[in-house]
Amino acid sequence: MNKQAIIDYCFNKFCPFIIIGFLLFSSFGFATWEPYVIMGLTLFIERFNFKVGYSVAYCERHNLIPFAKNEKGDQKNKK
């Protein structure tokens, strides 16, 4: 793995949280409860969004979902 890939991963993974945290705490300050709740919810969304996507991909790969309709209304993965 090259350095550029590691830097890209770090920027994509951590920069949104740093920017959101900076904006929240610069607007609300450290004494209020709102930035802590918003940051907690942001971390919750990030963590469980990945888990849901992984579980859907797992179910589709192992044919645990019988069929799914695409945008045209056609059925795919039907056997």
pLDDT, tens digit, for every residue of 31-57?
A: 999 999 999 999 998 888 878 888 888
pTM: 0.60
pLDDT of 77: 54
Instruction: Give every CB contact of residue 66 below 8 A, 6+ residues apart in sequence.
Output: 77, 78
Give the whole-angstrom CA distance, residue 68 versus residue 70. Answer: 7
Residue 78: DSSP 8-state: -
pLDDT of 73: 59
Domain count, the chain: 1
Give the whole-angstrom CA distance, residue 65 versus residue 76. Answer: 11
**Inter-CA distances, 41 with 9, 30, 56, 78, 79, Å:** 22, 17, 22, 38, 40
| Domain that includes residue 65, residue range | 3-76
Q: What are phi and psi of 69, to 5 degrees?
A: -95, 135
